[in-house]
Structure 1
Amino acid sequence: MNTTPQPGEEAAARAANSRLVRDFGLLIKSATRLEQRIDGELRQECGISHTMLEVLIRLCRRPGEEVSQRHLADDLTLTSSGTTRLLDRMEEAGLVRRIPSPADRRVTLVETTPHGGEVFLRAAAVHARLVERYFVAPLTTDDYGRLTAALDRIETALRDDA
């Protein structure tokens, strides 16, 4: 095996080891590991996935608000077919129901069922416990405030450029 760097390999190694690549990778790894931890605990304790919890959060956020299947897809950044399959599973589990919009026959609204509301409350407690343990507790109060403010600025910049 040749251990002498080939042309371009050193530049590629510098790029792969750059601070920006490393820092962004740390953000992605941390977020992915936390999401996997939350998903596993939710499946074990509540029988739902993290994505299902995200649907329930969206539906429970403003009681009485009409939420269309299309808006859910946009909020969750899922494809229309992915949202349909997810809602099919949630409907089969008795968590949500789909109803036609009284204002527009082309629109399907989604709402939680009483069972979905009960599962949501249990899942929200699991979610809060894990977020507190792995996202909040490792940081000082000041660091947590700076982190969430920075994440908000990043999200705003990405949303504004869309």
Structure 2
Amino acid sequence: MNPTPQHSEEAVARAANSRLVRDFGLLIKSATRLEQCIDRALRRECGISHTMLEVLIRLCRKPGEQVSQRQLADDLTLTSSGTTRLIDRMEEAGLVCRVQSPGDRRVVLVEPTAEGRTAFLHAAAVHAEVVEKYFVQPLTADDHAQLIGALSVIDKALREGTR
């Protein structure tokens, strides 16, 4: 689409440099950089990805709970095939195992192995160190509390707005 007199290069540049675009971009860049930092630390120190840790968090949240692959895909916002490949890799690494649902043979459940729970504890400690260093320490306690409060308000508005 060529700029028309109504869409001058200056108007386009103003829109691209608007406060809303900049502010949201800062949020996304910061979150992405933090996620990348966590992923590098987990790969280096634990041999797992951040996404694998997210699976283990979900599986370890309630002791004894078995979670379906479909629920994992929904919780992690992954495609069904992406979740299958991820669980394949985690199963090969001995972190999780698949079991058939006793109530529905079509449903595949995933649960952490003993090795997976051990890996989770190590990875959770590494995750906490990175989050503390880059998400908590740079802020004052009051600023951190305000940030968490603001993010909670945004999350609630998004959850309510997508119903």
Pairwise TM-score range, normalised by the shorter structure: over 0.9
Contact 2:59 2:67 in 1 (8 A): yes
**Residue deviations 1:38-93 (CA, integer Å, cap 9, x gap):** 00010010000000000000000111222111110000000000000000000000
Moved segments of 4+, more than 6 Å: none
**Structure 1 vs Structure 2 CA RMSD:** 1.2
Aligned length: 157
For residue 113 of structure 1, what is the aligned residue in structure 2? 113
For residue 43 of structure 1, what is the aligned residue in structure 2? 43
For residue 136 of structure 2, what is the aligned residue in structure 1? 136
- C-alpha displacement at 1:16, in angstroms? 0.9
Identity %: 74
For residue 95 of structure 1, what is the aligned residue in structure 2? 95
1:68 partner amino acid: S
**Are residue 73 (structure 1) and residue 73 (structure 2) matched?**
yes
2:161 and 2:19 mapped to 1: Cα distance?
24
Q: Please report the TM-score for the alignment, with normalisation by the length of structure 2.
A: 0.93
2:102 and 2:152 mapped to 1: Cα distance?
36
2:111 partner SS: strand
**Residue deviations 1:83-111 (CA, integer Å, cap 9, x gap):** 00000000000000010000111111100
For residue 34 of structure 2, what is the aligned residue in structure 1? 34
For residue 3 of structure 1, what is the aligned residue in structure 2? none
Structure 2 runs not aligned, ≥5 long? 1-6
1:161 and 1:46 mapped to 2: Cα distance?
38
2:15 partner amino acid: A
